Amino acid sequence: MPQTATINRQTLLASRPVGAPVPDNFKLVETPVPHPGEGQMLLRNLWMSLDPYMRGRMSDAKSYADPVAVGDVMPCGAVSRVMESNLDGFAAGDLVMCYTAGWQDYSLSNGSMVFKLDPNMAEPSQALGVLGMPGFTGYMGLLDIGQPKAGETVVVAAATGPVGSVVGQVAKLKGCRVIGIAGGPDKCAYAVDELGFDACLDHKLDSLANDLANACPDGIDVYFENVGGKVFDAVMPLLNPHSRVPICGLIAQYNATELPPGPDRLPQLMRLMLSQRIRMQAFIIFDNYGPHYPEFLQTMTPWVAEGKVKVREDRVEGLENAPQAFIGMLEGQNFGKMVVKIAD
Amino acid sequence: MPQTATINRQTLLASRPVGAPVPDNFKLVETPVPHPGEGQMLLRNLWMSLDPYMRGRMSDAKSYADPVAVGDVMPCGAVSRVMESNLDGFAAGDLVMCYTAGWQDYSLSNGSMVFKLDPNMAEPSQALGVLGMPGFTGYMGLLDIGQPKAGETVVVAAATGPVGSVVGQVAKLKGCRVIGIAGGPDKCAYAVDELGFDACLDHKLDSLANDLANACPDGIDVYFENVGGKVFDAVMPLLNPHSRVPICGLIAQYNATELPPGPDRLPQLMRLMLSQRIRMQAFIIFDNYGPHYPEFLQTMTPWVAEGKVKVREDRVEGLENAPQAFIGMLEGQNFGKMVVKIAD
């Protein structure tokens, strides 16, 4: 099903997943390219972002954002080219980052949640990762909630992903000891050799809890929570007095269809928080920290340019391949920020 | 076993409780009144404080403070009279608040964790409650972690206790809607009629979860956690986006000997925190906020004097009655701040 200048391919939510999403939960359809009305612009989406939060939007469970309706276009942010604009401040040819683009070739936008990008930006897809939502998430959650101090131990999972890699590298820049957790020896080696983490542990090994305890002889001062599940179980006994746990995601739990069997450890977590005086705080980056985005960019852009923060993307070509890439990402098959190239 | 000027009665931890403490966990012994050495003073304890945290100190589970050793004097803060002082800044006759007094007639002190009180203070025992650790706990936890804004809904349990009553009354002074939870109709009536809460719900009723939902039509913005257990269960589904949960105690859980049966709701709590972007933060008042004590006193002392914050104590006479009063307090039998008068 090729894309043409008159056809807009859209990936719809065909049905809600039960457990892990499957290809049948998605449906690719062809619709006419829409025409922008007054106060609208037409965007040609070039790069689309795949992020774990989208799994939550596929469910109808209560969450911070409304679920996607069955039959609606799957949501995503994208780097896009303005094709036609009836909107002040945007002109045909502009390169933008649009948070409401959706899994499709073309989108209409009224300008909300759209940011102009430097048209000469070397790697525009970075606006979806290290310089976009995931990087901003790692940066603000670590610094504002995590409050890392030099010499403290910071632990982060999904260590080679776009959030975890920023958390770890920024924590290193702040003088912390950084322990990553990732899936498999290649990712672990990359976190240490390329990203400069002090250690990185393989969560696929049964020895994770023991390995983490050995890697954190002084306990854990900041645990940046983006996965949940067995990683958090391994972290809990190591949390130091006054430790901080920013929570931005729980990818290990998203596909769960029921609660795990007992005993009920909720009271245990409460007791742990009390005995160690722990701060746990969840946040949604633009909801909690939107106004800080420019200052984040001012800091992060030169760090990336100077190589102080390294970037790795996992690029897939073709809108039609987005569902499989998304399904694989939830299983940890990606290595780096997952982006889909849908046009030049 | 009367107290005399040469005998120091001490209540020791005789054995660690399994579940709820029983009288046999305590032992009253007679020892000679000690003599203060260099850099020490001898205190005659007048009022001693009974607080839920002491249950934690009776266990050898890891917590924020070391457990009391079996055979050691039970810990408590007390209002005391200086009998003899070899310590600069303290003289015989001074009235002090000593956080390390212990369940005994006399204590030695090196001056650490001792605060001088106004010798003309109308109700010195208030230094153990509204103007001491519990009041300071309610005040700082509510204001610093809870960050209540006028019009928001604040929920607090143990509403007539020394922490809960301060939380609720200060929240009212800040313009919040305040829902208390307490045990039995008398306490609930007192919270509304005397303390000015908007409503107070009886946790002994099976309808608690439903009653709380009805009392909080706009959800809960601040839940001040001092009990845990079924009250927290009722609170969870009502927590608003960006709600704050200061945690200072979990009295409903302290006597538990094992975790409740499943399912395991720990992942559910994590997911709730994420979907509602909740901040949960535990604190131990002097550990987290010690330097703020003078500013707390400057604010709270006139509030109490002017009747803006009302105070209720549950007074028991006699050191020998402390164990039974403590056991009853853990079951909610006290009505107001539990203090034991041990001398004039």
For the segment B250-277, the average pLDDT, to the nearest whole number, is: 91
How far is Cα B218 from Cα B234, in angstroms, rounded to an integer?
Answer: 15
Asked whether residue A47 carries a pLDDT value surpassing 80, the answer given is: yes
How far is Cα A285 from Cα B180, in angstroms, rounded to an integer?
Answer: 33
B136 close to B105: Cβ distance less than 8 angstroms: no
Asked whether residue B3 carries a pLDDT value surpassing 80, the answer given is: no
Q: What is the pLDDT, as a whole number, of residue B1?
A: 41
ipTM over 0.85: yes
Q: What is the pLDDT, as a whole number, of residue A120?
A: 87
Position of tokens 């709270």? B300
Provide the residue count of chain B. 344
A321 close to A339: Cβ distance less than 8 angstroms: no
Beta-carbon separation of B277 and A288 below 8 A: yes
Which residues between 216 and 255 in chain B have a beta carbon less than 8 angstroms from any beta carbon of chain A?
225, 228-229, 232, 241-242, 247-250, 253
Asked whether residue A190 carries a pLDDT value surpassing 80, the answer given is: yes
Residue with the bigger pLDDT between B256 and B77: it is B77
Q: What is the pLDDT, as a whole number, of residue A64?
A: 75
Residue type, B301: T
How far is Cα B34 from Cα A32, in angstroms, rounded to an integer?
Answer: 93
CB pairs under 8 A between A and B: 145
Contact residues on chain A for B273, CB-CB shorter than 8 A: 247, 280-282
Asked whether residue B2 carries a pLDDT value surpassing 70, the answer given is: no
Which residues between 7 and 66 in chain A have a beta carbon less than 8 angstroms from any beta carbon of chain B?
56, 61-64
Q: What is the pLDDT, as a whole number, of residue A201?
A: 98
Structure tokens at B12: 């020791």
Burial A160-190 (b: 16+ CB within 10 A, else e): bbbbbbbbbbbbbebebbbbbbbbbeebbeb
Using alpha carbons, select from B285, B294, B344, B339 the residue that is nearest to residue B312. B339
Nearest residue on chain B to A266, alpha-carbon basis: B266
For the segment B279-286, the average pLDDT, to the nearest whole number, is: 95
Beta-carbon separation of A266 and B265 below 8 A: yes
Position of tokens 């069955």? A70
How far is Cα B323 from Cα A136, in angstroms, rounded to an integer?
Answer: 54
Contact residues on chain B for A231, CB-CB shorter than 8 A: none
How far is Cα B313 from Cα B122, in angstroms, rounded to an integer?
Answer: 14
Q: What is the pLDDT, as a whole number, of residue B61?
A: 80
Side-chain half-sphere CA neighbours of A61 within 13 A: 21
For the segment A191-202, the average pLDDT, to the nearest whole number, is: 98
Asked whether residue B140 carries a pLDDT value surpassing 90, the answer given is: yes
At residue A280 the predicted structure's pLDDT band, cuts being 50, 70 and 90, is: very high
Contact residues on chain B for A259, CB-CB shorter than 8 A: 262-265, 267-268
Structural domains in chain A?
7-129+313-341 (3.90.180.10), 133-286 (3.40.50.720)
Pick among B265, B286, B288 to test the A interface (most A CBs inside 10 A) = B265
Inter-CA distances, A293 with A80, A140, A290, Å:
19, 9, 6
Inter-CA distances, A135 with A131, A162, B101, Å:
6, 6, 52
Lowest mean pLDDT among A189-203, A317-331, B51-65: B51-65
**Could you write out the DSSP letters of every residue in A280-341?**
EEE--HHHHHGGGHHHHHHHHHHHHHTTSS---EEEEE-GGGHHHHHHHHHTT---SEEEEE
At residue A1 the predicted structure's pLDDT band, cuts being 50, 70 and 90, is: very low
Q: What is the pLDDT, as a whole number, of residue B325?
A: 97
Asked whether residue B209 carries a pLDDT value surpassing 60, the answer given is: yes
- Mean per-residue pLDDT over chain A, rounded: 95
For the segment B189-194, the average pLDDT, to the nearest whole number, is: 98
pLDDT above 90: percentage of residues in chain A: 90
Q: What is the pLDDT, as a whole number, of residue B4?
A: 58
Please count the other Cβ atoms lying within 10 Å of the Cβ belonging to residue B130: 28
For the segment A263-286, the average pLDDT, to the nearest whole number, is: 95
Residue type, A322: A
For the segment B159-185, the average pLDDT, to the nearest whole number, is: 97
Asked whether residue B21 carries a pLDDT value surpassing 60, the answer given is: yes
Residue type, B63: S
A158-172: pLDDT as tens digits: 999 999 999 999 999
Q: What is the pLDDT, as a whole number, of residue A4?
A: 58
How far is Cα A133 from Cα A75, in angstroms, rounded to an integer?
Answer: 14
